[in-house]
Structure 1
Amino acid sequence: MAVIFRSISGCITSAESVLITQQSHEELYRVLRQNKQVSSSEQKVVVVSVSPQSRASLAAHYGLSSSEVARRLTSFLKNLGVHHVFDTGFSRSFSLLESQREFLERFRRKEVDKKALPMLASACPGWICYAEKTHGEFILPYISTTRSPQQMMGSLVKGYFASQKGVSPQQIYHVTVMPCYDKKLETREVDCVITSGDTYQIDSYELLGHAGSGSGGYLHHIYKHAAKQLFGVEVDELTYKTIKNKDFQEVTLEKDGQVLLRFAAVYGFRNIQNLVQKLKRGKSQYHFVEVMACPSGSLNGGGQLKPSSDQTNKELLQQVEELYHGERTSVPEQDSRVAELYQSWLESVGKEIARPLLHTQYHAVEKNTNGLSIKW
């Protein structure tokens, strides 16, 4: 496990190593077994939230559609004793909407706040871990405060859903299925994170969409929303230009020869380092950057299923991408369920009540000089 993290953030502490080890499908089994041994009033309400990226990985492995995987996985988990199974695509709509709003706020104050832009996406905990430990106070003001879809789902499940069911947040045991091991470090209001590969180990004998990138579509949605709201430009298709390699691409909005918006997608540790160095030298021209620690983004996360013996990594990734993008796309602004929840739970979009529930804070992590506490 440490090798996976070393490529992203250099090392993990022993405390983080324990946190990761405690989160596995075995822990989910333990809670389900315990539920069978106690009275109904003492049972945990077990909720599992599944990411679209994990569904696509399982679909590629089993030769099924993503929607069929969702149906069979839900049935299987409920047979195990899970009470509710949700799709984190729903919470991602909240994350995208809040990110759009945050970007407009930052763009409008960029003249008085030199660290308002570029806004750096915050959905990848591997990137956040690296930023907090390595670049601290310099980089943190640039990072979006909007919670990731996993964190949003934690708020929804332990907040809104708990109140609707008339149970306390402590009575809910919330598990998420994610494409990347790094998500195990992002456990606010999530009790256990298991990967796509962990899920395969559970159900291997039983189990026979938004537009944009496979990393959440942040660049796609924020770019189109900003173009319309700030400059009155309707964007139908985004044209990406490769800068250094396929994992460093940019898209620009130009009018009368002037660049109005310049966005980038930066994946992989080496490209992230180049981005940060540009920022430190004052050479970055970007307004927004979608940052992911995994090369090729979260569809290629370390927790995804591995290729079969007759398949290359590239072939599997292409198959997973096709399945992921083959899902029916959703425009967050047009999702009536999300709009209703904003009204009933948060009173409306942009209200102050939403800030502690849908946003987060970051803290610089001091370098630990005690080598005994580091897991290499």
Structure 2
Amino acid sequence: MFGNGALQLTNLDDFITPSQECIKPVQVEKKNTSTGSKIKIQKEGYFEVDDQGVSSKLEKVDITLADCLACSGCITSAEGVLISEQSQQELLKVFEENQTLKANGNIEQAKWIVVSLSVQPVLSLAAHFQLSPDECFSKLTGYLQKLGADAVVDMTVAEDFALLEAQREFVQRYRLNAQKQNVLPMLASSCPGWVCYAEKTHGNFILPYISTTKSPQQIMGSIIKQWVGKTLGTPQHRPIYHVTVMPCYDKKLEASRKEFFDAQTESRDVDCVITAIELQQMLQGEGLSLVDAPEGRLTQPWIPEDGQGGAGDGEVRLRRHVGSGSGGYADHIFKYATKELFGEDVSLPLEYKQLRNPDFKEATLEKDGKVLLKFAIVNGFR
């Protein structure tokens, strides 16, 4: 959250209030009884009363991702159908269909599969398999290429574009705000779950303040489908099937949004989203460990080859931006805005002051006792 002057956040908690209780709070085992059983709700919890009048306390059920995504309180049934297309089963099906087409000599009908890797799931898998980040990046690239990926690319380039665009957007908003247009603070969040929550809970009260910059995932979708697909072209003019490896299941919902559907190509910017957990499940399904996977090389179509342009292959090197683990928006926008608006230079990373708790901290630019900028990093869904 970025703005100028006073900044106040209230009601910072991630607890579900009584009116928001999950629709699936307990699990009831089916039993054959003459009259059926009843459920009584008491202060101590939920109790099942059988036909003999004996009551027993019900245990709380574990809510899985499938339960949450299927809940009508969060997403619509139409969104649920779209999310079902975002799974490792769907990805493996596409790989298998491609292999069949190629084996039968119909390579021009096969999809050109591009997989974009983000940093966070690579780090998660590296920790799980006790690999260095660069080793994990290389082996994950090799594993995906072995499955049938035609190109594996690094999503950091899209994160670069997201930071640059967010920097410009904030400066533009700041100047408009000085003209009494009330466009600050700017909320920069790449979390589609939070955006969905804001849309369905707060509506126009909060939406005008959310940054209009696309997330790195969707910027990558535009790069792959629009620039690589239409400008550079693909072998045999094959249609692109774009997969992203992301840290969060909510990215599936983001990829399914109608705003990111191209009517001309009749496809989405991102066709399938896979998480680190799903990649691990894919490996387990084959009885493999990422440690034993072959090493691979990234495809980097934005790096000129022999100075003539085109798709270049590069050594796998993992890199990240300065700042928080969620993209570094606050640090980079603060530094850019400080220079652009006030001619001041600041070094990164910024020094933050913790406020109410470790999940709420802020950075302030002051000059001659006057607060010029005040940025905050707020972690937590609400």
> Is this a same-fold pair by TM over 0.5?
yes
The higher-RCO structure (CA 8 Å, 6+ apart) is: 1
Secondary structure of the 1:37 match is helix
| Contact 1:122 1:145 survives alignment (8 Å) | no
The within-5 A match list for 1:23-172 is: 23-38=86-101, 39-167=106-234, 171-172=239-240
Q: Once the 2 structures are TM-superposed, how far is the Cα of residue 68 of structure 1 from its aligned partner?
A: 1.1
Query: How many angstroms apart in 2 are the aligned matches of 1:158 and 1:105?
Result: 29
Q: Residue 356 of structure 2 aligns to a residue in which SS?
A: strand
**Unaligned stretches of 5+ in structure 2?**
1-64, 261-268, 292-319
Q: Is this contact kept in 1: 2:321–2:328, CA < 8 A? A: yes
Alignment RMSD: 2.0
Q: 1:170 to 1:181 in 2, by over 3 A?
A: farther
Query: Is the helix fraction higher in 1 or 2?
Result: 1
SS at match of 2:146: helix
Q: Distance in 2 between matches of 1:104 and 1:77?
A: 40
Alignment match of 2:374 (pick from 255, 262, 270): 262
Q: CA deviation at 1:57?
A: 0.7
- State yes or no: 1:178 paired with 2:246: yes
| Deviation at residue 4 of structure 1 after TM alignment | 4.8
Amino acid at match of 2:134: S
1:189-239 Cα shifts (integer Å, max 9, x gaps): 100011111111123414111111111111111011111111111111411
Distance 1:192 1:48 in 2: 9
Aligned runs of 1:1-376 on 2, under 5 Å? 1-2=65-66, 4=68, 11-38=74-101, 39-167=106-234, 171-187=239-255, 188=260, 189-204=269-284, 205-208=288-291, 209-237=320-348, 238-269=350-381, 272=382
Are the aligned partners of 1:5 and 1:182 in contact in 2 as well (CA < 8 Å)?
no
Q: Displacement of 1:163 after TM fit?
A: 2.5
Secondary structure of the residue aligned to 1:103 is helix
SS of equivalent residue, structure 2 residue 355: strand
CA distance in 2, matches of 1:169, 1:212: 40
TM-score, normalised to structure 1, is: 0.68
- Using the TM superposition, name which of 164-173 and 69-78 deviates more: 164-173
Contact preservation (8 Å) 1:159, 1:169:
no
The CA deviation at 1:36 is 1.6
| Mapped partners of 2:171, 2:126: distance in 1 | 37
The residue identity in structure 2 corresponding to 1:265 is I
Alpha-carbon separation, structure 2, partners of 1:115 and 1:166: 43
From the CA coordinates, give the structure whose radius of gyration is larger. 2
Q: Which blocks of at least 5 consecutive residues in structure 1 are unaligned? A: 273-376
Q: What's 2:5 paired with?
A: none
Identity level (%): 54
**Deviation (angstroms), 1:22:** 2.0
> What secondary structure, in the 3-state scheme, does the structure 1 residue paired with 2:177 have?
coil
Following superposition, the deviation at residue 171 of structure 1 comes to 0.7
* TM-score relative to the length of structure 2: 0.67
Report the CA distance shift for 1:245/1:2 in structure 2 as closer, same or farther (over 3 A): farther
Supply the AA of the counterpart residue of 1:26: Q
CA distance 1:6–1:202, change in 2 (3 Å)? closer
